[in-house]
Amino acid sequence: MIDHSGKGLWHATYGDYEPSAPLRGAVEADVAIVGGGFTGIATAYHLLKAEPSLRVVVLEGEAVGFGASGRNGSFAMTVVGLGLDLLVKMKGRERALAAHRYMERAVDTVGELVAAEGLDCDYIRPGFLRMATTPAYERRIRREIELAHSLGIEGIEWLDRDAARARVGSDRYRGAWWEPRTALVNPLKLVREMKRVVVGLGATVHERSPVRSIARPGPFLLGTAGGSVAAERIVLATNAYSHLLPPLRRKQVPAWTYVIATEPLSGEQLAPIGWEGREGVEDARNLIHYYRRTPDDRLLMGGGPVGLGFGRGMDRDSGPAAWAHLEAHVRDLFPSLAGARVTHRWGGPFSVTTDLTPAIGYLGDPRAVYSVGCIGHGVSMTHLNGQTIRDLVLERDTELTRHWLVNRRVVPWPPEPVRLGVSAAIRAYLGLEDRIHERPAPG
């Protein structure tokens, strides 16, 4: 048995979990995947669906879902990086639209997988509200909706104040971005259900098997404390931990986002809020707040202050300042929840590239594939990335492998201590912009 109950609501309420046996001895594989999160498990799934005879081995350092995949806010949505506006500014209109289309397909992919495989993961597709909480955020959201429409994106509309509050009741809301194409899941159940399916398809999953060395005497040789895998091809699905592997050292850095969940709320506490549709909600900040009503009627809220790491350190899962900020924000939005007890507090690392945009591709040559940089928006994306990585591994030239997000050059992060300086500067800038958007109007 393994106890990760301190890693958040999803872990604490999962029940007993018996991880698969660690790797022992020397084994061979056609494809070895490092990392048992959504990316690694989805890749195994799509590879085995395409070529059932492949020998696929997944090596997970802790337990499937230990990383961001088992701790996240649970929104499967179309957002890429920090959103459409920034993407257009950085990459241009054509690429921003192509990325949005990729994400639309990604959201649909999650629903299709759940239906096709009968995954028991509390999947619902209630849609998404980006609430405007100040006049400046209202202008930002309206501009972004116009931008989306000018790109030809459909299915996103402005809800006025009354319509927004009729869905979720808070005096802070001035209107909202409404987008039906968003699903919510129990992410830990989702990834472990997917593990069940890939094992059924023939994959071998080893947990408690951190990869400590990657050598390449001929085929790749992945070493763990108890064994080794010789593999023709490898996939590094290590996301925010990727800088710990020498070949990926400067492709991404980890940052931490923090989450709280209340006790199950009473009918009296929920009555002023409504929220019968159980929509996923965010606001329009850079350092967003994201929140949902769980199946057992807790309020789960994440976001606000982001934590940064230094060097190889990954010990940032505790965020007392961020948790206090989130508790204050719950009270500010929903006075009826002032007395609600917070029962779970946690944090987890997400992966950031220098241009705040995901990157998937070959690492030197087609026998090694990596995926990093989904930032806080990988729940949907990783599931389509599993198909993209399948095509890369099988060296297929497809619409997915030709996408601009694939095999693109990303400026590497500088070494420490400059790296920390750069990430702190980005965080400070994002926070400053938020404060400007939250200033009271003059007069």
Ligand X SMILES: Cc1cc2nc3c(=O)[nH]c(=O)nc-3n(C[C@H](O)[C@H](O)[C@H](O)COP(=O)(O)OP(=O)(O)OC[C@H]3O[C@@H](n4cnc5c(N)ncnc54)[C@H](O)[C@@H]3O)c2cc1C
For residue 77, what are its two tokens? 């949505």
Nearer to ligand X, 165 or 384 (CB): 384
Calculated CA dihedral for residues 222, 223, 228, 230, nearest 10 degrees: 20
Q: What is the DSSP letter of 168?
A: B
Residue 253 Cβ vs ligand X, minimum distance, rounded to whole Å: 14
Which CB sits closer to ligand X, 136 or 362? 362
Q: Which is nearer to ligand X, 269 or 380 (CB)?
A: 380
Beta carbon nearer to ligand X, 138 or 261:
261
Q: Which residues of this chain interact with ligand X, rule CB under 6 A?
A: 34-40, 59-62, 66-69, 71-75, 77, 210-211, 237-241, 257, 259, 290, 302, 348-350, 374, 376-380, 382
Q: Which residues contact 288 (CB under 8 A, 6 or more apart)?
A: 282, 303, 376
> What is the closest distance, in whole angstroms, from the C-beta atom of residue 346 to ligand X in the complex?
7
As measured in angstroms, the least distance from the Cβ of 395 to ligand X is 22
Q: How far is the CB of 423 from ligand X (least distance, A)?
A: 16
Closer to ligand X by CB, 75 or 413: give it.
Answer: 75
CA 243, 23, 121: angle at the middle one, nearest 5? 75
Alpha-carbon 322 to chain mean position: 19
Residue 119 has which token pair? 């995954």
Number of residue whose CB is nearest ligand X: 378
Least Å from the CB of residue 198 to ligand X = 13
Count other Cβ atoms within 10 Å, centred on residue 226: 13
Which residue in 343, 263, 367, 289 sits closest to 32, CA to CA? Answer: 367
Return the number of the residue (9 or 88) whose C-beta is nearest ligand X: 9
Closest contact distance (angstroms) between CB of 70 and ligand X is 7
Asked if 4 and 63 touch (Cβ cutoff 8 Å), the reply is yes
C-alpha dihedral (233, 237, 242, 245), degrees to nearest 10: -30
Residue 31 vs residues 34, 407, 443: alpha-carbon distances, Å: 10, 19, 64
Token readout for 237 is: 């699905």
